[in-house]
Structure formats: structure tokens, C-alpha cells
């Protein structure tokens, strides 16, 4: 980190620690319009820009949510939305509610040529310019999602290396601009692989990512990790206990994630609300030394029942808000990191 001035290092640490604090977690509300279509179709909510703005306003105006949530990730569209009564920009609305605003800066995935349909993430072009602008408008941290798949021919070494380097380059650019990078190498749970295979791949991916972060002079104290939990694939026929999943997850991080990283904020990755809760709880209870805050950065696991309560109808706003608070509170309670070390 020799090229990052001391005052920038201090600022990044301050932000990272404000996010990874006292059991709080992150809400990922950064679904772009096309992803929102798939989340809303099952509940028949019309996917218009105004509905997306209104729904986010509903979440962000849930006052007590800041007791459980320290940061919220926005997509580009939402970042530029305002409240409908007093035209407060959403990043400012969050800050006024004691929540740090974050921004997704990747531009989704494309196929990495020469592989068996493995993804790589785009968005490095103009990234520095975009990060400076987001920072000026109040963003404090950023997110970039890389996806690693497990299949008969994957992950290839090429896909692992390419995604690790891209994450490192992204993280370096964010830090130069005063944004804490959330480094998200998601090992997808799609597939019939077992727990051991997920652990083997996740270890290899994380080891490669941290080597790349070091190569690119990324200042680890000013980063957060957003990983998958180590679980069997969603089509695996093998059954495991919650404790086995939790232990495999903690062992994987102990082998690969440096102690300098202040927080590990899990994605839910398609696990339902209940599993996302019990896994997080069990992970925090594994009787091994865990030097990082282990918390959540959930999208679906903090919103699925909210959408079912809301159904796109303003008459249900209050129920939707109560549902959001209920979920945030449960995740927070099941994340008793401070009592375990």
C-alpha cells in the first residue's frame, strides 16, 4: 500500500469498521432493472422505474433499520433517485438515517472466451472516473461481483486467475478514490457438487484473490470480503448438518482470509431466509478462533418476504416495512460475533 497516502488509509479503515461493526450487516438493494424483473415476477409487481424508486424509498425510510443495518448497496439507477416529497437524493437519505451508502460498480458478467461458459465481470473501463463521481455524491463503499462456477470443466485456472485479477484491479481503483471495495468472489451454488468440492474450490479462489490483492498493493484493512458460505450445490444429493456447513465455512476462511480484513459479509446466493439465518448463526458459533466480524450482506434473504407482504400495493407499505425490520433484526440477532471470539 505504499502508494496510498496515510490519510486515505485512515479514511478507508474508518469506513470499513463503521460497516463491520457490532453485529450489523449490509442490505444489498442493488438489483438492476433486469434482475428486479425476475424478483418481482412471482409477486406480480410491475417492473417500472417509478415502482423501483418507490419500493427503495419504502425500505430506506424504515427508520429503525439502522439499529441492524450499517450499509446499503445501491445500483446506478437507485443512486440517482430522490424522495418524492422533498427530493432528497437517496444517498443522503441513507446518511441521514445513519446508514452508509454503497454503490455497485461492476457492469455484470460475460462469457470468458475459451472456457466452458465461465463468467468474467466487466466494468473496469472508466471505473476511476465513475468512482470519483460516486464518492463526490456520497458513496462510501463499492461492490464488484465476480462469479465462479463449479461444473465438470470448471472452474478453470484461467477463470480463477482472471476474476482474481479483475477484483484486485477494481479494489485498487476504489481505494485510490476513497471507496472501501467489497470484494465479492461468489462461488455459485448451482450444481450437484458436494460440500468438500465447494470447500476445495472456495479455498482455491480465496487464496488466489488474496494473492492478487497483494500483487496490486490493495490495503486490506480498508476492504471487506463478500463470499459465499461453503455449502453443497443446490442439486447435490448429499445431506449435511448445519454444523458441518458452518465448520467447513469457517475452516475455509481460516486457511485463506488474512486477519487484516475487518469483516466478512456473506451473500445469501439463493439460500432462503431461514437457511441464511441459521447458517450465519452456526458460523458465528463454531468453536474456532475467528478474527473477523462475520455478518451479512443479503439481497434476497432480506427482501423475499418483504415483497410478498408488499405486493406492489401502497396499502401494504406498513406491513412491508415491518417485515423488513423483522428480517433485519433476526439476521442481527443471529450474528453474535462479539460473544464468540
| Pick 11 or 148: Cβ nearer ligand 13P | 148
Marked catalytic residue, from 24, 143, 165, 226: 226
Q: Are residues 338 and 71 in contact, defined by beta-carbon separation less than 8 angstroms?
A: no
| Minimum distance of ligand 13P from residue 308's CB (angstroms) | 15
Q: Which three cell numbers stand for residue 301?
A: 434473504
Question: Does residue number 56 form part of the binding site for ligand 13P (CB under 6 A)?
Answer: no
| Pick 34 or 86: Cβ nearer ligand 13P | 34
| Minimum distance of ligand 13P from residue 28's CB (angstroms) | 3
Pick the piece of the chain touching ligand 13P (CB under 6 A) from 43-51, 131-139, 207-215, 296-304.
296-304
| Minimum distance of ligand 13P from residue 267's CB (angstroms) | 4
Please state, in angstroms and rounded to a whole number, the distance separating the CA atoms of residues 67 and 82.
Answer: 23
Please state, in angstroms and rounded to a whole number, the distance separating the CA atoms of residues 196 and 232.
Answer: 8
Residues 112-151: x where in contact with ligand 13P by CB under 6 A, - otherwise, as a string: ---------------------------------x------
| Pick 181 or 269: Cβ nearer ligand 13P | 269
Q: Which three cell numbers stand for residue 308?
A: 410478498
- SS in 3 state form for 286-310? CCCCCCCEEEEEECHHHCHHHHHHH
| Minimum distance of ligand 13P from residue 5's CB (angstroms) | 30
Residues 172-201: x where in contact with ligand 13P by CB under 6 A, - otherwise, as a string: ------------x-----------------
Question: Does residue number 299 form part of the binding site for ligand 13P (CB under 6 A)?
Answer: yes
82 is catalytic: no
Please state, in angstroms and rounded to a whole number, the distance separating the CA atoms of residues 326 and 306.
Answer: 10
Please state, in angstroms and rounded to a whole number, the distance separating the CA atoms of residues 317 and 323.
Answer: 10
Please state, in angstroms and rounded to a whole number, the distance separating the CA atoms of residues 175 and 181.
Answer: 7
Please state, in angstroms and rounded to a whole number, the distance separating the CA atoms of residues 111 and 101.
Answer: 30
Q: Kindly tell me which residue out of 55, 68, 79, 298 binds ligand 13P, with binding defined by CB under 6 A.
A: 298
Q: CA 206, 211, 213, 219: dihedral to nearest 10 degrees? A: 110
Interface with ligand 13P (CB under 6 A), residue total: 10
Residues 258-287: x where in contact with ligand 13P by CB under 6 A, - otherwise, as a string: ---------xxx------------------
Question: Does residue number 28 form part of the binding site for ligand 13P (CB under 6 A)?
Answer: yes
Question: Does residue number 300 form part of the binding site for ligand 13P (CB under 6 A)?
Answer: yes
| Minimum distance of ligand 13P from residue 143's CB (angstroms) | 7
Q: Which three cell numbers stand for residue 170?
A: 477494481
Looking at residue 192, the DSSP 8-state letter turns out to be: S
With cell 423475499, the residue in question is: 304
Q: Which residue is nearest to ligand 13P (CB)?
A: 299
| Pick 142 or 255: Cβ nearer ligand 13P | 142
| Pick 11 or 77: Cβ nearer ligand 13P | 77
Residues 95-114 binding ligand 13P (CB under 6 A) are none
Please state, in angstroms and rounded to a whole number, the distance separating the CA atoms of residues 179 and 173.
Answer: 9
Interacting residues of 317 by C-beta distance below 8 A, sequence separation 6+: 58, 310
Looking from the CA of 333 toward its CB, the CA atoms found within 13 Å total 7
Question: Does residue number 72 form part of the binding site for ligand 13P (CB under 6 A)?
Answer: no
Please state, in angstroms and rounded to a whole number, the distance separating the CA atoms of residues 121 and 102.
Answer: 19
Contact residues: ligand 13P, CB under 6 A: 28, 145, 184, 267-269, 298-301
Catalytic residues: 226
Amino acid at each position: 500500500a505504499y502508494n496510498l497516502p496515510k490519510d486515505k488509509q485512515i479514511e478507508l479503515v474508518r469506513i470499513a469498521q463503521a460497516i463491520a461493526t457490532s453485529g450489523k450487516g449490509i442490505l444489498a438493494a442493488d438489483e438492476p432493472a433486469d434482475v428486479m424483473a425476475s424478483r418481482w415476477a412471482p409477486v406480480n409487481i410491475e417492473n417500472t422505474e417509478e415502482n423501483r424508486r418507490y419500493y427503495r424509498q419504502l425500505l430506506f425510510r424504515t427508520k429503525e433499520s439502522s439499529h441492524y443495518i450499517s450499509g446499503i448497496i445501491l445500483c446506478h439507477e437507485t443512486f440517482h433517485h430522490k424522495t418524492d416529497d422533498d427530493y432528497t437524493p437517496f444517498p443522503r437519505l441513507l446518511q441521514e438515517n445513519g446508514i452508509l451508502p454503497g454503490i455497485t460498480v461492476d457492469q455484470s458478467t460475460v462469457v470468458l472466451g475459451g472456457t466452458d461458459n465461465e463468467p468474467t465481470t466487466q466494468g473496469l473501463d472508466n471505473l476511476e472516473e465513475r468512482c470519483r463521481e460516486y464518492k463526490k455524491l456520497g458513496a462510501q463503499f463499492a461492490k464488484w461481483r465476480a462469479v465462479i462456477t463449479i461444473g465438470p470443466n470448471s472452474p478453470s485456472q484461467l477463470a480463477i486467475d482472471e476474476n482474481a485479477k479483475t477484483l484486485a484491479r477494481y479494489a485498487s481503483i476504489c481505494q485510490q478514490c476513497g471507496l472501501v471495495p467489497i470484494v465479492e468472489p461468489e462461488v455459485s451454488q448451482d450444481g450437484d457438487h458436494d460440500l468438500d468440492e465447494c470447500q476445495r474450490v472456495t479455498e482455491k479462489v480465496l487464496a488466489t484473490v488474496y494473492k492478487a490483492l497483494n500483487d496490486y498493493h490493495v490495503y486490506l484493512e480498508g476492504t471487506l470480503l463478500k463470499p459465499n458460505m461453503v455449502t453443497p450445490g443446490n442439486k447435490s444429493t448429499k445431506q449435511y448438518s448445519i454444523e458441518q456447513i458452518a465448520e467447513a465455512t469457517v475452516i475455509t476462511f481460516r486457511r485463506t482470509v488474512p486477519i487484516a480484513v475487518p469483516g466478512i459479509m456473506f451473500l445469501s446466493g439463493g439460500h432462503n431466509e431461514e437457511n441464511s439465518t441459521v447458517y450465519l448463526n452456526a458460523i458465528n458459533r463454531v468453536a474456532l478462533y475467528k478474527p473477523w466480524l462475520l455478518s451479512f450482506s443479503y439481497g434476497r434473504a432480506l427482501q423475499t418476504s418483504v415483497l410478498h407482504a408488499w405486493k406492489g400495493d401502497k396499502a401494504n407499505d406498513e406491513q412491508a416495512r415491518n417485515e423488513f425490520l423483522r428480517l433485519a433484526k433476526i439476521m442481527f440477532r443471529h450474528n453474535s460475533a462479539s460473544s464468540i471470539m
